[in-house]
Structure 1
């Protein structure tokens, strides 16, 4: 499965690129910068040497991916590319992200990559960076109205499509008249808009009856649990499934369902350790695996190219509501209990951690 994943998706032409979308943030967490002398793929190692790139992650609360996966993978890719990278986390605070960006610009980064907390604040950061001669990268989330030189992410409509089709598969195709609740991602996150577009189109003709839906501000899992409890109460507890935008919110919904004595299919995204464990235990039906290694390496390759004054390799473009910019796009995979092993085989999660206390479930899923 890992070998089949590619940064260049053959189907990522103008249809996807023409649909801009929305995205996820906490206290400043600083990672050590990385130095190496190896040559970056597709760039002149000597030209890239001495270049510095700044990466600002959004938070550590909405998803385990940012600190557990993105940070170490970006660090490793920077070392391989021979560029110095400074990685910090805004911890969901827009003012904090702006302050971190100002400091990185003052410290001489040549490229700034951000995962915006919303397009307005992200665009303001990029405008400052561009004025200082710093190149911009939109990492994971597109900044509408921004000044990014390149966008590195996954096919986010396809992520939502996988969730909607996944929920249908969770019911074995018998969906007519089934009641569902939809728990959407942050309303200020363009990705969440695209996920929603994908899954609502996928379930449009499935015969589901949506008995409640709401977006969760800032992807806040605790708030998501409260919102879901209110939706479940309003539906008198009559729900057959839950279409949830990511694993963190899915786990919050599962906790509410458990308190109500219910177990129904739920969807997710990010293939987090806890999300995969929930799939093995039968409280979550599916998740969407986005190989962060592909995204991190793509962003670092783009940073190395920009630092070296070279063109970024991308097979698509996307409209950020200012202009068309290069779009480096990765592919995604739907994960159910019968293919959780693919995520393990790809090295995305540690088998011992995944299977601790779930040895029988792992064995049944073919994870030996």
Structure 2
């Protein structure tokens, strides 16, 4: 299990990033000066459909951090293709990366890549998703069980605010091959299961969505709704899945009447919250995660090791992985401004068209 938490701060990241100076992506960064060879860091992102964050947030944040550190870097996206994931890793290792940072598609594919990198003397970091049975030297993520707990508590709050009595709660879980989805579920079920047991809530349909695919999620929720049209609340594991459920509810003229959770504080998710179609999301400050991962990668590329005050247990590999775990934040209509203030989403992105009036009403600046 987790042993403590390390909340990465700007000061920590800055201190680590300062260990290497001198610049390179698909995102490949910069030009090298004559002389010493600069360290090179490879990053493999998983896809563009499980969440928009990988391309809109993680890529630019990581690239900016590596540029600031003066290291060469190569950031590529496997776009959900396991073979492409392995091919990209092989190319990066052949091209001489000193550190490989991955967001696995599944633990099997991730393990194969991590083990190959280790055999070639390449340092490794699991980013956002822990590779079960893998060999990453570090893990950088959020406290994902806490993410799920915030979702369960958020749904409970929204149902209470609506005065719901014994609501039927449907659960749209994340991908069964993503360890994070398991951790999210552990978190929200720790809140919801006692309510099911007491009869306060009724447990409704419960299904995982392969690969976090939003189109499949809509089909799955359509089937849930057809079999149980009295669904009164939806625990959706992220904003994309939430939007799929909202589409079905809208078609049945029930959007805004059924509280739905989310995760990632996407523009679409925040707009749904302002419109009343989604009750909450969980904001994960991706810049802090990217900064922490890049700081570790730069240290490893310089041949140094970093101490962390947290570990996460890998039950498959039966080992404790040194970890940096960041704190998530619950977002409701009354604190959407926090995401804008943090710079993760701009007012211009959020307050388009009909949402301008909703932003003004919510006091978004």
TM-score by length of 1: 0.87
What runs of 5+ residues in structure 2 fail to find an aligned partner?
1-5, 10-24
Matches within 5 A, 1:225-244: 225-235=218-228, 237-244=229-236
- Choose which of 164, 182, 185 in structure 2 pairs with 1:196: 185
1:204 is paired with a residue of what secondary structure?
Answer: helix
Aligned to 1:344: 340
* Alpha-carbon separation, structure 2, partners of 1:54 and 1:108: 9
Report what 2:260 is aligned to: 266
What's the CA shift for 1:36? 8.0
Q: TM-score, length-normalised on structure 2?
A: 0.88
1:70 aligns with 2:62: no
Q: Partners in 1 of 2:178 and 2:50 — Cα distance?
A: 12
Contact 1:90 1:97 in 2 (8 A): yes
Q: Which digits, 9 at most, give the CA deviation of each residue in 1:287-336, with x for residues without a partner? A: 00000001101110010111112122421012223322210111110000
CA contact (8 A) 1:58 1:89 kept: yes
Residue 163 (structure 1) shift: 0.2
1:16-27 equivalences in 2 (<5 Å): none
- Residue 244 of structure 2 aligns with which residue? 252
State how far apart, in whole Å, the 2-side matches of 1:238 and 1:176 are.
12
Separation in 2, partners of 1:62, 1:325: 25
1:98-118: per-residue Cα shift (whole Å, max 9, x none)? 000000000000111110011
**1:176 Cα deviation (Å)?**
4.8
* Of 351-360 and 213-222, the range deviating more from structure 2: 351-360
Q: What residue in structure 1 maps to residue 16 of structure 2?
A: none
What is the match of residue 7 of structure 1?
8
Offset of residue 32 of structure 1? 2.5
SS at the partner of 1:240? strand
- Counterpart CA distance in 2 for 1:36 and 1:329 is 33
Which residue of structure 2 aligns with residue 277 of structure 1? Answer: 271
Any idea what the Cα deviations from partners look like across 1:140-192, whole Å, max 9, x if unmatched? 00001101000000000000000000001112365551111100000000000
Structure 1 SS opposite 2:160? coil
CA contact (8 A) 2:7 2:324 kept: no
Deviation at 1:7, TM superposition (A): 2.1
Q: Cα RMSD between the aligned structures? A: 1.8
- Could you tell me which residue of structure 2 aligns to residue 90 of structure 1? 78
Deviations 1:91-144 (A, max 9, x none): 001111000000000000011111001111100111100001001110000001
2:361 to 361, 364, 367: 364
SS of aligned partner of 1:172: helix
Structure 1 ranges of 4+ moved more than 3 A: 173-176
Q: Is the 8 A contact 1:313 1:328 kept in 2?
A: no
Contact 2:27 2:76 in 1 (8 A): no
**Separation in 1 of the partners of 2:108 and 2:345?**
34
C-alpha separation in 2, matches of 1:313 and 1:338: 38
Match of 1:53 in 2: 41
The answer as to whether partners of 1:302 and 1:313 remain within 8 angstroms in 2 is no
Q: Please show how residues 299-318 of structure 1 align to structure 2 within 5 Å.
A: 299-318=293-312
